[in-house]
Chain A
Amino acid sequence: MQRLTVTALNVFVFLLAACGVAPAPAPQIQSATDSIDLSGIKDFLLNQSQELTTAANDLQAAADRYYALAETAGFDYAALWSSQRDAVISELEAARMAWMAASPAYEKMEGIVAGTPSLAQFDVDLDAGAAAADDPESAVSFDITLPDGRVLAQPGNLFGVTESTLWGTEPAYDSGVVADWNADGTVAFGENLPDANVLKGSADLLATMASDLEAAGRAWTPSESDAFTALVVMVPTMNEYFGSWRDSRFVLGDASTQRDFAVISRLSDIVDILSGLELVYAQVRPRVERVDTDQAAQIATDLRALKAFVADVYAQEQGGKRFTPEEADTLGAEAQNRATAITGQISQVAEALGVTIVE
């Protein structure tokens, strides 16, 4: 009887455990990856990052040569310009050419880098981050220590720093020496002598970061969550890109006070970014089709139409049309509307698929 009582107590405890406080089923947590093949995204990223690394190394080499010239002149830029004019122009043109190759190489993969949580900091530091003085919340994470010991504290993204140094849109990064490159009596946009310390310091860091991004890309295995997050994060940023285009030299001309995006039209960047995102979507489209084939086709069509819309505006600009700020604003709003509609559709599909969109 006594044993029975103790046993009954134990049974009671078991019953309490089984049906009382906690539900019995094991947690239903889905796997990070699914069966679709996302290797195309990684291949694309690696191709682009190799291209970026090569161009960044070329930029670093040209910056080193320019630095050596300046060092020989004792960093007396007036003397440098008068004594080494042709060599200086040659090295700076080589540096600019390398920058012009590096920037689009990155832009094509920016959608993936910025939209992938594990890679996103590269985007902040390479292309999107602000200077801490302007916007501390979205500032870059690094300081640049220059060869002469000066430190540029969180100066903004590296493409912006190198661009503004090479083309003279940031006075603080310029030597201040008037340099009429083509000797036509007028110092036009881009006729400047950069501060060799700033150019070398920023080019060195750009090369290092490009190499780091390539390594991170190799270590990365894209997941469905990464792909959908990249689409949802990057597609609706059109307004921001159009905003920087509206405020750039391509719309405002000499009235522009914007430091960055003065050399390559932001419209070109947007087309490149959307190309990368189209590739990302192509990889996950088979999954979307399992939920809704019409929706899958609609998203593809809308993405293509958005890219065509921007490409058309870019073609007009290349054809010589100068858009007004209001037109730029209207175009930006339209691009944003289209992008938001696409993002909305992708979010609905991700929900239906149970794919996590990382915030």
Chain B
Amino acid sequence: MRTYWIVLVLVAVLLGGAPRLYAQQPTPGQAAETVRAALVQAQLAMSDDPQAAAVHLTTAQMVYAEALAATLRRDAPAADARIRVGLTWAEQALAAGNGPAFAAARAQIWTAILAGGYQVVTTALAADDAVTAQRWLPVREFRHATRFSRPNADATRAVQRTLRRESDAATALLAVHADLLDTYQARLTEALATLRSANAQGFALRSAEAAALAEGYVAILAPAYAEQRGTVALAELETALATLRIAAVDGTGITPILEQVETRLSGFRAAPLSPAELSRRTGQMLRFLSLVPIEYARGVRNGQVTIDLEIREAITFHAGAHAAFADLRDQLEQRDRAATDRIVDQFAAIDAILAAAGGRSAVADPAEVTQRSEALLSELRTLLPPEWQLQDGGADFDVVRTALDQMEQAVRAGEYALAESARLEAYAIMEIGPEVKLIAFAPQLKPVIEGYFWYGQAEYKGLAYLIARNAPPSEIAATRVELDKALAEAERVLAGSNAPAAITFNASIIVFREGLEAVLILASLLGSLKIGAQRRFRWPLWIGAGIALLATVLTWALARGALLAMARFGERLEAIVSLIAIAVLLLITNWFFHDIYWKSWMSNFHQQKRRILGGSAGQWLGLMLLGFTSIYREGFETVLFLQALVLEGGTQVVLLGVGIGLVLTLLIGLAVFGLQAKLPHKKMLIVTGVLIGAVLLQMVGNTVHVMQVIGWMSIHPIRWLELPYWIGFWFGLYATWEGILFQAAAASFVIGSYVLAEHMHKRTRIKQTPAATPRGA
């Protein structure tokens, strides 16, 4: 009786007393936690102070009755029944001083509360009652955090969106199912691992608790299990788990029944990964794994570990690949158990090699790691369904982040050369995957991300700049935080562009846009060669353009294989190609005003003279080169852009888009060339001259930008000048002093060339004008 009053006072204080937190009825989450904690305290007090244990148990009973029971009885009667049974068992165990039985009862009560909370949330969402769902969602557990994962907020986010009417309750329901089923399956796996470990150590209470937890989690996952395996299989599993719990409580042998339970659960995944998640895990696994031999080879020389950080990077990448494999394993086992088992062994073999090298107990030859990694990759690629292996942008971002983690780790260790290597690695992965898509779909983010990777963005210095100056870890971390935000934004933007129709559409837009640029350039050049004998100069342009098209096709063919190698130099390659194009354009512009334009109003004397002297061969070569560089530059960009799409959506989907884009380009080309034919030569020359000047300015601006991105040129931003991103994207106009000045210089060159040409033209005309002939002469 005394105990009852003590508890009553405690509960009164807890539920309605002074603390501000409980000034009102406790939330379901608070009440559930109170019940759980009280039961733990009861178990801990059992052996030393049974009376205190009884107080704690009574507290749990009363809080449950006051704060949770009514709702659970209505919305989750099965859970409520299990809780009541559990509380009765707990009373009996306490009275009998049976610790294992109490631990099992405690686990049953807790998992039934979790099941009840889950049921209330889903019932509420089904009735479009997001308020109740939000109130009861905290009656849940989370996945234990690991080095690679933090608790996610999918369910919370989905319910909040529903509350704000940004999404419907059905969508939230799916998110809640996925989040909670995934969580409880992870907890089930942990409970079985704990059971095995506790049993091995002879921990009776821990064994009983873990066995009952496993049974409780399976009760939550039961509908999913029955749906996948049938009700008979579920009944067999439940029987096995009940037997396991009883054996654990009684302290009899559990090993055979535990193995039986694990066998029945093998291959079961309560919340199957979505196709996007499967692709993402696959991408992570393959990318991480391909990096393992590279890092290992860098860290080992002549049978000795020479760079520890490289070995640690190899270990980290291997662990990342293995973690992704663990998520896929169940499904892979269903496809081919024997192959999956072989893969498990292969992972273990590489793990052992890396661990030995890390501990310096044995250092395997890098060739062996490469051979084993390639064999494992080959086995995986055979086993993994092709649709999972389509490139997933999210996986790219994951790998980029991991490489950046390695960079920061190296910085903290004072290993700046290694940090630079890791930074370049992250950037290379960014380039071959997400960046080309960013250029196509969210170009405004490309300079932001590049800035953080290289030489600065806004008030933050770029990573390349900081590492080159051995900046302190805090400065590098600050830039990293900003880079992470930009990467997250990019990932979010790109996440919605992977539907086949969208990929086809984007491919067609890319081809059309680049094709349009090529048509305009070609039209401008050809338009300047419409007069008389100059028409023959159109041929070298056409030939150059034709070769560029062939080179583009060849680049496409080579790109897949050589992408990784090229990507590391992608911006440099682009800069070199652009510089060549600018040089040619400047020469041609100068020649254009001083030669073609000038000569168009002059006699063909000089042209005949040059032909005689063999100068036309240089003109031919120059025009061919101009045609080639103008078109190939677009073709090269297009190939790079499209590679990302091919990896994401497959060749056929992209080729369909390419076809559409080419047809549109062809139509525009016909229209442009058709109209050109009707243009008066003189006006056309002026118009095309202006167009060529515009192309030159755009090319200069973009080339300066690229050179700044790769660090070949300094950056002095014009901070007061804010230009919309499309100005830079389409006209190469960026708010940097270097870009503006070089564009101004190019403009001055063109205009100066024109003015000079005009001046020379006037002088020549004056000279050539015959003196006035006297009337009658």
Q: Which A residues are closer than 8 A to B by beta carbons? A: 2-3, 5-6, 9, 13-14, 16-18, 20-30, 32, 117-121, 132-137, 139, 141-142, 153-154, 216, 219-220, 223, 225, 232-233, 236, 239, 294, 297-298, 301-302, 305, 325-327, 329-331, 333-334, 336-338, 340-341, 343-345, 347-348, 350-352, 356-359
Contact = CB atoms under 8 A, between A and B. Distances in A.
14 contacts: A29-B448, A119-B474, A120-B412, A139-B308, A139-B358, A141-B412, A216-B473, A327-B44, A334-B44, A336-B144, A347-B151, A350-B153, A356-B485, A359-B149
B206 A333 contact: yes
A340 B145 contact: yes
Contact of B151 (A20, A117, A330, A343): A343
A330 B205 contact: yes
A228 to B, nearest CB: 10
Given A135-B358, A219-B472, 12 more contacts: A9-B672, A21-B513, A22-B725, A28-B489, A133-B361, A220-B474, A236-B145, A298-B21, A298-B29, A329-B203, A350-B153, A359-B401
B752 interface: no
Interface SS, B side:
helix
A136 B141 contact: no
B425 to A, nearest CB: 18
Nearest to A2: B679
A327 B203 CA distance: 9
Contacts of A13: 516, 520, 730
B488 A356 contact: yes
A17 B520 CA distance: 15
B142 A341 contact: yes
A227 B360 CA distance: 37
Contacts of B414: 141
A297 B24 CA distance: 13
A12 B515 CA distance: 14
Which of the listed residues A6, A219, A357 has the most CB atoms from chain B within 10 Å of its own CB?
A6
A221 to B, nearest CB: 8
A347 B152 contact: yes
B95 to A, nearest CB: 21
Interface stretch (B286-294, B311-319, B709-717): B311-319
Given A334-B40, A356-B481, A343 B142 contact: yes
A24 B156 contact: no
Contacts of B474: 118-119, 216, 219-220
Contact of B484 (A136, A298, A356): A356
B203 A326 contact: yes
A22 B360 contact: no
B138 interface: yes
Which of the listed residues A21, A133, A135 has the most CB atoms from chain B within 10 Å of its own CB?
A21
A343 B358 contact: no
Given A133-B361, A139-B358, A344-B142, A351 B412 contact: no
A22 B641 CA distance: 14
Interface in B438-478: 440-445, 448, 472-474, 476-478
A29 B40 CA distance: 45
B342 interface: no
Contacts of A17: 726, 729-730
Contacts of A301: 21
B148 interface: yes
A29 to B, nearest CB: 5
Contacts of A236: 144-145
B412 A358 contact: no
Contacts of B201: 325-326, 329
A330 B160 contact: no
B478 A118 contact: yes
Given A27-B489, A137-B316, A340-B144, A20 B509 contact: yes
A220 B475 CA distance: 9
Contacts of A345: 138
A29 B481 contact: no
B143 to A, nearest CB: 8
Nearest to B486: A29
A302 B140 CA distance: 15
Closest 9 CB pairs of A and B: A136-B358, A121-B412, A118-B477, A344-B142, A351-B153, A141-B413, A118-B474, A326-B203, A347-B151
Given A27-B445, A121-B473, A216-B472, A136 B312 contact: yes
A21 B510 contact: yes
Given A121-B412, A136-B357, A225-B481, A298 B144 contact: no
A294 B448 contact: no
A317 to B, nearest CB: 14
Contacts of B30: 298
A21 B687 contact: no
B150 A329 contact: no
B455 to A, nearest CB: 18
Contact of A359 (B142, B150, B198, B444): B150
Contacts of A14: 730
Contacts of B435: none
Interface in B129-166: 138, 140-142, 144-145, 148-153, 156-157, 160
A283 B207 CA distance: 40
B477 A117 contact: yes
Contacts of A28: 489
B480 interface: yes
Which of the listed residues B156, B157, B412 has the most CB atoms from chain A within 10 Å of its own CB?
B412
A340 B140 CA distance: 11
Contacts of B520: 9, 13
A329 B315 CA distance: 29
Interface string B194-215: 1000100111111001000000
Contacts of B405: 359
A134 B715 CA distance: 47
A18 B150 CA distance: 39
A16 B509 CA distance: 9
Given A2-B675, A21-B440, A334-B40, A27 B486 contact: yes
Contacts of A340: 141-142, 144-145, 151
Given A32-B482, A120-B412, A139 B312 contact: yes
B409 interface: yes
Which of the listed residues A14, A32, A134 has the most CB atoms from chain B within 10 Å of its own CB?
A32
B205 A326 contact: yes
Given A121-B473, A141-B413, A136 B441 contact: no
A247 to B, nearest CB: 12
B539 to A, nearest CB: 25
Contact of B442 (A6, A22, A225, A341): A22
Interface string B405-427: 10011001110000000000000
B206 A132 contact: no
A302 B210 CA distance: 24
B572 to A, nearest CB: 24
Contacts of B493: 23
B321 to A, nearest CB: 14
B559 interface: no
A330 B206 contact: yes
Contacts of A302: 33
A134 B204 CA distance: 30
Contacts of A327: 44
A5 B668 CA distance: 12
A75 B493 CA distance: 67
A87 to B, nearest CB: 38
B358 A348 contact: no
B726 A18 contact: yes
Contact of B489 (A29, A330, A334): A29
Contacts of B209: 330
A136 B413 contact: no
Contact of B444 (A22, A121, A136, A330): A22
A352 B158 CA distance: 11
B683 interface: yes
Contacts of A16: 513, 516
Given A325-B201, A347-B153, A358-B484, A137 B315 contact: yes
Contacts of A348: 151, 153, 156
